[in-house]
Amino acid sequence: MAITLGPNRYGKAEIRMVHVDRTTPSHVLTDLNVSVALSGDLDAAHTVGDNSAVLPTDTQKNTVYAFAAEHGVGAIEDFGLRLARHFVTTPSITRAVVTIEAYPWRRLGPHSFQRDGGESRTARITVADGGEHVISGVTGLVLMNTTDSEFVGFIKDRYTTLAETTDRILATSVTAAWRHAPAGPAGDPAEATATPTAPDADWNTSYSTARQALSDAFTGTYSRALQETLFAMGQAVLGTGKGLAEVRLSLPNRHHFLVDTAPFGLSNEGTVFHADDRPYGLIEATVRDDELPEAPQAWTS
Ligand SMILES: O=c1[nH]c(=O)c2[nH]c(=O)[nH]c2[nH]1
């Protein structure tokens, strides 16, 4: 039997890079998933463990970050061409395939963005024991501020490595659910009895007002922690004056870590980030209007 090595390639897959162009007051956001696949004279790496022709996948990843830090990104076709041309300058590499996915973000403000698609409106209705409860919500509402977020003053113990930062990206995928105060005998939510009935609300207007309040509060809050942003979002929903009694928020902290480009002799002043997908912080809380009756049965299965 003659066993030979067939076609092969290798590379770093799914390099999640976020680039923030801060050269104008309106930040320009580029959110990419870059994969590199190289091939060439790599038989020895497979057959005899000789890595002398291997450009490490870690170096490939660093190159993607360094090119973005040094030249910016521009059109993904240009970025891919620059990278692929560079990789084939390595003598052992004869073929470079750079695949790029760009995620679209809609501008909400000079440094605030919303990811298009993936958002759903939700509703949870409970009728039991003569009572009616309506919970409305949103999930998958992905928001990002490219500045106006800091995180300092937290506990430091022997396991802490996180550095304090006064300027970071804040991004989350909002899951929020708000409970409509039931109507009381005189239509007043504060008068609701033990057997409340659902208000005769304009659900569509109520939804769009609450959803907009969430988005505006995220965008407009200078954040010292995602916890502070969460509370501002909860207050904003309850403040819409649409008979909302309580909002429950679940906010994953979609971490964006500043890439250390110093080893490549490049500065990185809040421009090139690694978008990490896990683990993530998960910030959750209920925000209530204390003047309205509680209704735990509206949330339980
Ligand atoms: O907004 C934040 N809240 C935290 O509780 C936390 N913890 C952490 O490591 N980073 C952050 N960010």
| Each residue's pLDDT tens digit, 41-83 | 999 999 999 999 999 999 999 999 999 999 999 999 999 999 9
Do 133 and 220 belong to one domain?
yes
Q: What percent of the chain stands above pLDDT 70?
A: 95
SS3 168: coil
CA dist 289 → 111, 162, 237 (Å): 31, 35, 11
Query: Is residue 47, in this structure, part of any structural domain at all?
Result: yes
Do 148 and 215 belong to one domain?
yes
Out of 103, 132, 160, a domain closes at: 103
DSSP symbols for 25-52: SS-EEEEEEEEEEEEES-HHHHHT---T
Query: Is residue 188, in this structure, part of any structural domain at all?
Result: yes
Out of 103, 136, 156, a domain closes at: 103
Do 266 and 137 belong to one domain?
yes
Sign of the dihedral defined by the CA atoms of residues 271, 275, 117, 79, in that order: positive
221 CB under 6 A from ligand 1?
no
For 62, the enclosing helix (H) or strand (E) is: helix 57-71
Token pair recorded at residue 131: 């009572």
Model confidence, pTM:
0.93
Active site residue 12: yes
Query: Is residue 256, in this structure, part of any structural domain at all?
Result: yes
Average pLDDT, stretch 160-177?
Answer: 98
Active-site choice (133, 255, 256, 261): 255
This complex has an ipTM of 0.99
- The count of structural domains within the chain is 2
Do 141 and 216 belong to one domain?
yes
Spatial distance between the Cα atoms of 46 and 268, rounded to a whole number of angstroms: 37
Query: Is residue 124, in this structure, part of any structural domain at all?
Result: yes
Query: Is residue 6, in this structure, part of any structural domain at all?
Result: no
Out of 103, 129, 163, a domain closes at: 103
Q: Could you read off the pLDDT of 196-236 as tens digits, one per residue? A: 567 777 899 999 999 999 999 999 999 999 999 999 999 99
Residue having the nearest C-alpha atom to atom 2 of ligand 1: 225
Do 138 and 213 belong to one domain?
yes
Q: Which residues contact 238 (CB under 8 A, 6 or more apart)?
A: 178, 244, 245, 246, 247, 287, 288, 289
Residue 37: name the closest of 5, 68, 12 by CA: 12
Query: Is residue 4, in this structure, part of any structural domain at all?
Result: no
Do 61 and 199 belong to one domain?
no
Do 89 and 35 belong to one domain?
yes
Q: What is the pLDDT of residue 67?
A: 98
- Which domain, by its residues, includes 153? 111-298
Query: Is residue 8, in this structure, part of any structural domain at all?
Result: no
Do 128 and 81 belong to one domain?
no
Active site residue 57: yes
Spatial distance between the Cα atoms of 220 and 215, rounded to a whole number of angstroms: 8
SS3 217: helix
> Which is the closest atom of ligand 1 to the Cα of 162?
9
How would you classify the pairing of strands 93-102 and 105-109? unpaired
Do 127 and 42 belong to one domain?
no
> Which is the closest atom of ligand 1 to the Cα of 223?
1
Query: Is residue 57, in this structure, part of any structural domain at all?
Result: yes
Do 84 and 128 belong to one domain?
no
Adjacent-strand bridge partners of 248: 177, 286
Residue 151: name the closest of 141, 134, 164, 132 by CA: 164
Do 73 and 116 belong to one domain?
no
Quick count: other Cβ atoms within 10 Å of Cβ 290?
Answer: 8
162 CB under 6 A from ligand 1?
yes
